[in-house]
Amino acid sequence: MTNSTVNPEKCWAEMIDEFGDDHSPLTPKLAQAFAAAPYGLMEQVSWFKFAGKMIGRRDLVMVYDHLEGLGGWTVAYETGPTVAILNQLDPLDEIRKAWPDEKILFENHDEILRSTRNEFDGIVRFDAADSIIEAEWEYFIADSAAMLKEGGSFVVGIKNELKFIFIKKIAKEHFNHVFEFGKGQPHPVLTPANINIILAC
Partner 1 sequence: MAYNLKKDPKRLAFVLARYSFAAQMTANCASVLELGCSEGIGASMLHGGIKPYLGLDLDTPAIEAARRNFASETVRFKNANFLHMDEGRFEAVVSLDVVEHISKGADEAAFFQAVSDNITDNGVCVIGTPNETSTPYASPESMRGHVNMFDAVRLKSTMEDHFKNVFIFSMNDEMVHTGYAPMAHYLFAVGCNKII
Does residue 100 touch partner 1 according to CB under 8 A?
no
Does residue 187 touch partner 1 according to CB under 8 A?
yes
Does residue 201 touch partner 1 according to CB under 8 A?
yes
Q: Residues 46-85: x/- map of binding to partner 1 (CB under 8 A)?
A: ---xx--xx-x-----------------------------
Residues 30-49 that bind partner 1 (CB under 8 A): 49
Pick the piece of the chain touching partner 1 (CB under 8 A) from 18-26, 69-77, 88-96, 183-191.
183-191
Task: Report the C-alpha gap between 192 and 43 in whole angstroms.
Answer: 6
Strands of the sheet containing 61-65, edge to edge, are: 104-107, 82-86, 61-65, 120-127, 148-158, 196-200, 178-182
Does residue 7 touch partner 1 according to CB under 8 A?
no
* Burial grade of 91 (CB within 10 A; 0-12, 13-18, 19 or more): middle
Does residue 171 touch partner 1 according to CB under 8 A?
no
Residues written for the chain: 201
Does residue 112 touch partner 1 according to CB under 8 A?
no
User: Nearest Cα to 67, choosing from 86, 92, 52, 80?
Assistant: 86
Give the DSSP letter of residue 104: E
Pick the piece of the chain touching partner 1 (CB under 8 A) from 14-22, 87-95, 123-131, 179-187.
179-187
Which C-beta is closer to partner 1: that of 9 or that of 150? Answer: 150
Does residue 178 touch partner 1 according to CB under 8 A?
yes
Task: Report the C-alpha gap between 114 and 174 in whole angstroms.
Answer: 16
Q: Residues 114-153: x/- map of binding to partner 1 (CB under 8 A)?
A: ------------------------------------xx-x
Task: Report the C-alpha gap between 43 and 119 in whole angstroms.
Answer: 29
